[in-house]
Structure 1
């Protein structure tokens, strides 16, 4: 599967995330966000490392207010791990690579 990170919009959210066969890590970011630049390599690493059992998408917050509001994103960077329309995990702010991998390992091992 390993497709890397896919950029999506509000219009694509249902198709790419909610009805996806595999769990999806949604990365909310903004072009003006310095901490988001720190998270990008970690997100790319997750996409390549877990690509066989996880889809990774990124969504810029400013042009996509519907999803941002629906998932209560109050700060960026923010992550939401969703599987079949169910929120499994949620973080806001920069997190270390090992913390992200721990979250993914916890939730992906049951699939």
Structure 2
């Protein structure tokens, strides 16, 4: 259990699109080495921003990626990993691909608070 909200195509609308404020989503896939660098950063962000940031994770299934059968992945063009997307009130504000530096995430969050 990571302590982050686990997203899927079934709950994405409710948890992200209908959410008020900032939502930080880590799109990752199993077997992605660099993806493992993101959860410790997410934990720090969750602590730092407490009630001002909803921290979520979205496990992209490789078979869904190949089959193009995940509507969320297709809509937001999540084809590389890790891919962080920050939403505000249901609108994409930042799309960050392959960054592992907490300062880059803090800058993106601060800019959109």
TM-score bracket for this pair, using the shorter chain length: 0.7 to 0.9
| Pairwise CA distance, 1:25 | 0.8
Instruction: State yes or no: 1:102 paired with 2:107.
Output: yes
Aligned equivalents of 2:70, 2:50: Cα separation in 1 = 27
> What is the 5 A alignment of 1:10-89?
10-62=9-61, 65-89=70-94
Unaligned runs of 5+ in 1: none
Deviations 1:25-75 (A, max 9, x none): 111011211000011111121122112211011001115822111111110
Distance in 2, Cα, partners of 1:65 & 1:43 = 24
In 2, the alpha carbon distance for the partners of 1:86 and 1:99 equals 20
Distance in 2 separating the partners of 1:94 and 1:39: 9
Query: Gapped runs of 5+ residues in structure 2?
Result: none
Per the normalisation by structure 1, the TM-score is 0.87
* CA offsets 1:71-104 (integer angstroms, 9 cap, x no match): 1111010011111221111111133011111111
1-side partners of 2:51 and 2:24: how far apart?
13
Q: Report the number of matched residues.
A: 105
Instruction: Give the ranges of 4+ consecutive aligned residues of structure 1 lying more than 6 Å apart after TM superposition.
Output: none
